[in-house]
Amino acid sequence: MVPLHRRPAIPTGARQWALFLLLLTPGGALRSQSAAPQAQDGAVMMGPVEVTAQKEAQLNSIDRKVYNVGRDIQASTGSAADVLQNIPSVEIDIDGNVSLRGDPSVQILVDGQTSAQMGTRTRADALAQMPADRIERIEVITNPSAKYKPDGTGGIINIVTKKGRARGYSGSARVTVGNRRRYGLNAGGNFNPGPFNVYGSYALRQDDRPRSTVDQRSYVDPVTGLEASTRSRTVEESRPFTQYGQAGVDYKAGPDDKFRESVDFSYRTFDRHSLEHDTIADSLGVATTDYQRSRYDPENEGDVDSTTSYEHDFSGDDRVLTVDLELEHHAETERNHYVSIYATPAGPPLQEYIRVAANEPSAELKAEYVDKAGGSSRLELGFDGTDDRSTQDHLDLVQDPRTGAWASNPQVTNSFYMDQSVAALYATYRRSWGKLGVLAGARLESVELRTDQITAAVAQEQRYTSLYPSLHLAYDLTDTGQIQLNYSHRVRRPESDDLNPYPRYQDPYNLSAGNPSLRPEETHSLEAGYQYRSGDTTYLATAYYRQSYDSFTQVSRYVSSTTLLTTQENLGSSRSGGLEAAATASPIDKMTLNASGNLFYSQIDASNLGYSTRQSAVAWSGKASVEYALSKASMFQLNANYSAKRLTPQGYREPSFVANAGFKHEFRERRLTVVATVSDLFNSLKYETRLNTPLLRDDVTRRRSARIVYLGLVYSFGASKAKPKDDPLQYDNQP
């Protein structure tokens, strides 16, 4: 990393850096393998020179860690979720849920912009289907500055996508095939004659997701004291088909004005088939209910996003004004067809139809003024206004087995509307004094939240104003060592699913509902870190601490002898802290090792929910990968991820482990690349949760199918050749 106060005004690309350093060699001459002959006029006659360089795997700036996924040779065949799984600090479980240092409240941005499809309800599917080869780098911002929205108590993950900017034309085409009829196609390119740049891409992905779930539950009736038990086993098969597209144009109207217009779309269809076998037994172990329930669910989900940008550079003053308008619409529909066939007690088949439809339009207007005329300082002033709306319609129809007539279930059928507007003003100031770098800021937000449970005719409204400060300090101890200290105030606001009190369910045993009384979660985050960087070796160590109030947590309660209702509740308080470390080194020639680990302590106070006053636990997680260059054209990679036992308010989550391997070989001057990956080498990926209270015990184990194999072929053409280090392959370890 180039320290904040030492950044020179020269090209920052890897090749430009190498060329710049060579120009500074003694005598101002570039050295090649053969001696350069002298011209008669005293000038140097240079022979052929080839400058080679590669991007660093990770960079640590004053407010974020940047991971160039090109060093991970696994992204050509996988998804965005696969890439994130190998990023330090980030964890993704088998359900696709993302957490950052164990905190599931994470804001995920795409190219610095919010997206409706990256909301808590839809992000798992969106990340699992987003092609990994669209990604250029991942930015992990655990303590964001006031420039960013404070949403997400865990921090921000920013996915930066590739956009061609080379002069002339360039592009690439990819095809991948996998077992169980998986495949993917991707093509993209750009044309840049000078004053404007036109780019576009299109990708499609056919996935396959076999899943199995075993749920064993026992319950003690508080009145009779008798115990009943249930066992449910579900086998599911689904085949998501996703299409992605992007088109845009950048236009430089003059020396001071730039315009950009881009449109992105994604469309996903998702046919789900499942068969569930349920039994209920009394205290003597005698089965009182035994039946099978089949499900057919064709889903579709679409997103359209338009971004219009204008940038004005005040000539010669290092002052820039940027205005962005983003319009987005997210829509999804699922149609569940259920048929239940009872063996005990015997009876006619029962049919049920559940339709869930959601529409979420959003608009965001941003204006930012940047003044860096001070040389070593940078001032940012901005306005950020957003309006997010959500309409949800739930329809539940049940067929009378005697008459065949369909009737609406009033306990589930409902319509819910939410409108949240946020107006924010922010200011950040960056300055360096010798070896000390400072980034300070504050963000003032005014929030207006309106909800309307249309079916129940209950409308609510909230208004509040909050201040979110941030502070980042960096100090260079030596040329290779730097320490950092930073603080931020974050918030987690309820989403529409969190607030709608009507229950939602996909089987008779499990219901979920929102909590209209749910309050925003507030978190104060503090961390201190040290970085050592010398040549190919990098060491990072960070100590962090979080104090949260009104934390969100899932609480499950019985509403009958067999049915479990899960809702969101506010904890009294919670605190966590830990030590995170990461290292990159090359112990021998042609080998690179990457390792990271997180040891953390968490304590929760759930006394307001009727549980023990405090619960605490120590857990850890680790990731490691090894890359070995078999030759100049071939590389092998092996990586592994482990997560230890985790505490929950009502129980715990068991450890998990997964390992992957990949191989890459290049042909035709690196324009043609063949990649192969095998995910979950040991078929160990599963998700186990244990819920244990005085009246209720629930053990759930979820697994996916056996290992997944992919073979990919990549061809690059045009002005810019594909670099082997920047063109990864990836595993599919997602649901």
In the predicted structure, residue 261 carries a pLDDT above the cut 90: yes
In the predicted structure, residue 726 carries a pLDDT above the cut 60: no
Q: Could you say which DSSP state residue 51 is in?
A: -
Q: Where is average pLDDT lowest: 89-103, 339-353, 545-559, 710-724?
A: 710-724
Q: What is the pLDDT of residue 182?
A: 92
Q: How far apart are the C-alpha atoms of 596 and 538, rounded to whole Å?
A: 11
Over residues 107-134, the mean pLDDT reads 80
Given a contact cutoff of 8 angstroms between Cβ atoms, the answer to whether 630 and 650 are in contact is no
Q: What is the pLDDT of residue 75?
A: 63
Given a contact cutoff of 8 angstroms between Cβ atoms, the answer to whether 551 and 609 are in contact is no
Given a contact cutoff of 8 angstroms between Cβ atoms, the answer to whether 655 and 642 are in contact is yes
Q: What is the pLDDT of residue 419?
A: 96
The two three-digit tokens of residue 240, written as one number: 């998501």
Q: How far apart are the C-alpha atoms of 289 and 282, rounded to whole Å?
A: 9
pLDDT digits (tens, 9 = 90+) for 156-179: 999 988 776 667 788 889 899 999
For the entire predicted model, the pTM comes to: 0.80
Given a contact cutoff of 8 angstroms between Cβ atoms, the answer to whether 516 and 496 are in contact is no
CB atoms within 10 A of CB 263: 16
Q: Give the DSSP letter string of 390-424.
A: EEEEEEEEEE-TTT--EEE-TTT-EEEEEEEEEEE
Q: How far apart are the C-alpha atoms of 730 and 722, rounded to whole Å?
A: 17
Q: How far apart are the C-alpha atoms of 702 and 232, rounded to whole Å?
A: 12
Domain residue spans in the chain? 1-53, 58-726
pLDDT digits (tens, 9 = 90+) for 46-66: 344 444 445 566 777 888 888
In the predicted structure, residue 387 carries a pLDDT above the cut 90: yes
Q: What is the pLDDT of residue 147?
A: 93
Mean pLDDT, the chain, as a whole number? 83
Q: Could you say which DSSP state residue 722 is in?
A: P
Place of tokens 């092996």: 638
Over residues 662-667, the mean pLDDT reads 88
Q: Where is average pLDDT lowest: 125-139, 343-357, 421-435, 712-726?
A: 712-726
In the predicted structure, residue 568 carries a pLDDT above the cut 90: no
In the predicted structure, residue 42 carries a pLDDT above the cut 50: no
Q: What is the pLDDT of residue 37?
A: 38
Measured over the CA atoms of residue 7, residue 582, residue 19 and residue 169, the dihedral's sign is: negative
Element (H, E) at 139: strand 135-141
The Cβ-side half-sphere exposure at 38, using a 13 Å CA radius, reads 3
Share of the chain above pLDDT 90, in %: 41
Question: What topology is assigned to 58-726 in CATH?
Answer: Maltoporin; Chain A (2.40.170)
Residue among 362, 114, 135 at smallest CA distance from 246: 135
Q: What is the pLDDT of residue 353?
A: 95
Measure Cα distances from 556 to 96, 155, 569 in Å.
Answer: 21, 27, 10
The Cβ-side half-sphere exposure at 543, using a 13 Å CA radius, reads 4
Provide the pLDDT confidence category of residue 649 given band limits of 50, 70 and 90.
low
SS3 category, 708: strand
pLDDT digits (tens, 9 = 90+) for 666-725: 886 778 889 898 888 888 888 898 888 777 888 999 998 768 898 988 888 876 444 433
Q: pLDDT higher for 464 or 194? A: 464
Measure Cα distances from 558 to 218, 340, 553, 606, 700 in Å.
Answer: 11, 22, 17, 18, 16
pLDDT digits (tens, 9 = 90+) for 7-41: 333 333 333 333 333 333 333 333 333 333 333 43
Q: How far apart are the C-alpha atoms of 685 and 88, rounded to whole Å?
A: 19
**615-629 as b/e: b if 16+ CB within 10 A:** bebebebbbbbebee
Q: What is the pLDDT of residue 560?
A: 67
Over residues 623-652, the mean pLDDT reads 86
Over residues 349-357, the mean pLDDT reads 93
Q: How far apart are the C-alpha atoms of 195 and 511, rounded to whole Å?
A: 57
Q: pLDDT higher for 661 or 670? A: 661
Q: What is the pLDDT of residue 385?
A: 96
Where are any strands of DSSP class E within 207-318?
A: 209-220, 227-252, 257-281, 287-314
Q: How far apart are the C-alpha atoms of 197 and 191, rounded to whole Å?
A: 6
Q: How far apart are the C-alpha atoms of 143 and 526, rounded to whole Å?
A: 8
CB-count burial class (<10 Å; 0-12, 13-18, 19+) for 82: buried
Q: How far apart are the C-alpha atoms of 391 and 419, rounded to whole Å?
A: 9
Q: What is the pLDDT of residue 241?
A: 94
Q: How far apart are the C-alpha atoms of 560 and 720, rounded to whole Å?
A: 64
Over residues 609-617, the mean pLDDT reads 64
Place of tokens 């309050």: 519
The two three-digit tokens of residue 639, written as one number: 């990586």
Given a contact cutoff of 8 angstroms between Cβ atoms, the answer to whether 338 and 294 are in contact is yes
Q: What is the pLDDT of residue 20?
A: 32
CB atoms within 10 A of CB 28: 9
Q: CA torsion angle for 138, 139, 140, 144 (degrees, to 10)?
A: -160
- 476 residue type, one letter: D
Beta 615-629 vs 591-605: how paired, if at all? antiparallel
In the predicted structure, residue 6 carries a pLDDT above the cut 60: no
Residue among 136, 149, 70 at smallest CA distance from 106: 149
The two three-digit tokens of residue 126, written as one number: 């969106």
Q: Backbone phi, then psi, for 334, in 5-degree steps?
A: -125, 145
Q: In what order do the strands lie in the sheet with 510-513?
A: 504-507, 510-513, 564-570, 552-558
Q: How far apart are the C-alpha atoms of 28 and 275, rounded to whole Å?
A: 73
pLDDT digits (tens, 9 = 90+) for 210-247: 999 999 988 887 667 778 888 999 999 999 999 989 89
Q: How far apart are the C-alpha atoms of 330 and 117, rounded to whole Å?
A: 7
The two three-digit tokens of residue 16, written as one number: 């430009």
Q: pLDDT higher for 649 or 583? A: 583
Q: What is the pLDDT of residue 46?
A: 36
The two three-digit tokens of residue 343, written as one number: 């063996």
Residue among 579, 593, 702 at smallest CA distance from 638: 593
The two three-digit tokens of residue 379, written as one number: 């001032």
Q: Could you say which DSSP state residue 611 is in?
A: S
Q: How far apart are the C-alpha atoms of 615 and 603, rounded to whole Å?
A: 6
Provide the pLDDT confidence category of residue 320 given band limits of 50, 70 and 90.
very high
Q: What is the pLDDT of residue 38?
A: 39
